[in-house]
A and B are shown apart, each in its own frame.
Chain A
Amino acid sequence: MNADIKEEKTEKGPEHGLELESKAGKRAAYYLDAKKLQKPALALIILGLLLLSTAFLGFFFDESWGSRGGGGHAIMLPSAELNSQSPADAGAGANGEDALPVYQAASSSSQAEMGMADSKSKFFAVYLFSYVFFMSLTIGCLFFVILQHLTRSQWSAALRRIPESFLPVFPFLALLSLPILFFGMSSLYHWTDAAAVETDVLLQAKAPYLNNTFFYLRFALYMLFFILISRFYYKKSVAQDTDGSHKHTRIMQKASPLATLFFALITTFFSLDMLMSLDPHWYSTIFGVYFFAGSMLGALSLIILVLLVLRVFGWLKQEVNKEHYHDLGKLLFTFNLFWSYIAFSQYMLIWYANIPETTLFFIKRLNGSWKEISILLLVGHVFIPILILVSRNVKRNLGSLGFFAFWIMLMHALDLYWIIMPNTDVLDVNIGFSDMLVFFGMAAMFFGVYILILCRHAIMPIKDPYLKNSLDFENA
């Protein structure tokens, strides 16, 4: 197949692809009913907006929203209380004290403002979590598409449109980042506080990188590159649907090494800026890879789940069969192993070196009810999927594969929650109804936009030169 593409310099060639267009009856089988789905999709987006704005108003005008439950927030705690929560052993105690300047800044303001600042920071933390979660899914989908072109994969042609249709969501996600950039910076990122930087040697040393101007500039660059790369891959693939030219496949394959390089840099720095700088004293050199591994897991689960949902409604039943699901399952298993490897590498080096700035990250997460979440991540994100997904039969059974895709997506969300939230809910996990509003509001908008995109073209790249091989694909 590949040789065909290279030799063929002219632009024509539907005879090499699958001649679906000629069979008028079959053609409809790859187009969702736009008229029927447009209204529910728009309704989803409006519902999402409503949920988000309800949560937003609730957090800003009703102080009780943010500070419900007994756990409370660290910025409200006097320093002695935080100390007493530290474990008895000497190393951790010292780290607990080290952590104090981070939270003391807020406790200097008056009590009335406190409740406000508190629920505000809680809102933005949950907002950031939801935002980064959906961003990570889209980032993973982008890499999945690039990877297929990089390796010239043929098996995936039949299902490539599913992740591809997530790519145009990037501009929408860029819009969703605006509330964080305009209102949330001071409540999320401690390093934006000039008074805190003045008394903090580490933050002063990091100031050339961690300052507002450079942050905004970098963020704009990330969004620009994400949108440009994703637009390129989306437009080319959709254009092939109409003209069937093999030129598109060739260009996408040629661009893939460069796209991979840019993708790696952008994703790494995106995760450093959005997540690692939440705790500006902390650093981990493997963090970018850790975020990337989680994103791929989220994206693979998402692809499997979207395919299964389409299958329930009778779409792509013949085209995407057990063999393709088996391969997606293999990737899911491998990336889960990869994530575990990276997560453990990050933990072990910090545990071994025992340097106060770095251990603080784990000490926070091994205290209070965060400890249970950490153990849940270890068991649910590492042991259970690896031990069970290793079986070929589990990956080939659509029911069990769907369950594990859902489970791993849940674990990926929990992993991001575990990274972001302990900076706000320092002592205890504190999930309330209002947090759900933010998350599900964003989810509704995300999938609403996705459905609108999916309606615009075929749900399978119908003139991809590899499609025939993909449909006939069989695992040896």
Chain B
Amino acid sequence: MEDSKEQIEESRAEGKIVAGMAASFENPKELLGAASAFRKAGYQNFDTHSPFPIHGMDKAMDIHDSRLGWIVITCAILGGLGGYALQVWAAAAAYPLLISGKPYISTEAFVPITFELIILSSAFSVVIGMFMLNGLPKFSHSLFTHTSFYRASYDRFFLSVAAEDPQFDAIKTKSLMKAMGGEAIEILYDQP
């Protein structure tokens, strides 16, 4: 138990930045149990990594609805207003052309483009907003300093705790991971 604390202190002295700790689990059920144990222990900044989505993980980790929806609806409204304004400007101010006796500002004719711009801006904001919220793309991540993390993409289930978490403690975190059945518990380092 003491070794992990010593290891952290040692590596800090060497100038390495400790990013967190990760453990691997045998199966999704163990990972679910570990996730709810960590949530109950008060951890907030922890994550799970699995080869496939696990039902009930959102509940076990207490993950709330994403903020992405609000970003998208804001962009959609702005896109729609922008599209409408663009057409009003083009049809009534910049190039006023009389088309089959209709008024310059004919909302009916502007609806399709306004609608399509709502769709376009929502689609773009979904993709861009998703990347902004999950911090991708990244050139490197501390998780990859774990020696067997590559197995998260086929046969192992990982749980990682970030060092920024107020509950993070080299000894306590490690013992909780061990108690929940974690193997290959390793300290993660930020790569320079």
Contact = CB atoms under 8 A, between A and B. Distances in A.
B111 A476 contact: no
A392 B65 contact: yes
Given A392-B65, A476-B53, A348 B108 contact: yes
Interface in B39-64: 53, 55
A122 B160 CA distance: 72
A344 interface: yes
A348 B65 contact: no
Contacts of A351: 108
Contacts of B55: 474
B120 to A, nearest CB: 16
A465 B69 CA distance: 36
Nearest to A90: B101
A354 interface: yes
A47 to B, nearest CB: 45
Contacts of A418: none
Contacts of A447: none
A474 B53 CA distance: 12
A352 interface: yes
Nearest to B53: A476
B172 to A, nearest CB: 34
B4 to A, nearest CB: 36
B82 interface: no
Nearest to A348: B108
A349 to B, nearest CB: 10
B53 A348 contact: no
A354 B102 CA distance: 10
Interface in A323-367: 344, 347-348, 351-352, 354
B112 interface: yes
A347 B65 contact: no
Contacts of B101: 91
Interface residues of B, number: 11
Contacts of A390: 73
Interface string B102-126: 0000001101100000000000000
Nearest to B58: A476
Nearest to A387: B73
B134 interface: no
B111 A348 contact: yes
B100 interface: yes
Contacts of A352: 100, 108-109
A476 B108 CA distance: 38
Contacts of A391: 69
A250 to B, nearest CB: 29
A238 B109 CA distance: 50
Contacts of A474: 55
Contact of B112 (A348, A354, A392, A476): A348
Contacts of A348: 108-109, 111-112
A126 B65 CA distance: 47
A354 to B, nearest CB: 7
Interface in A67-118: 91
B58 to A, nearest CB: 10
B87 to A, nearest CB: 14
Nearest to A474: B55
A474 B108 CA distance: 41
B53 A344 contact: no
B100 A354 contact: yes
A351 B102 CA distance: 10
A392 B112 CA distance: 26
A347 B111 CA distance: 11
A91 B109 CA distance: 18
Contacts of B111: 344, 348
A359 to B, nearest CB: 13
Nearest to A351: B108
Contacts of B73: 390
Interface in A186-214: none
18 contacts: A91-B101, A344-B111, A347-B108, A348-B108, A348-B109, A348-B111, A348-B112, A351-B108, A352-B100, A352-B108, A352-B109, A354-B100, A390-B73, A391-B69, A392-B65, A392-B69, A474-B55, A476-B53
Interface of B: 53, 55, 65, 69, 73, 100-101, 108-109, 111-112
Interface of A: 91, 344, 347-348, 351-352, 354, 390-392, 474, 476
Ranked 10 nearest A-B pairs via Cβ: A351-B108, A348-B108, A474-B55, A344-B111, A476-B53, A354-B100, A348-B111, A352-B109, A392-B65, A347-B108
Given A348-B112, A352-B109, A354-B100, 6 more contacts: A348-B108, A348-B111, A351-B108, A352-B100, A390-B73, A391-B69
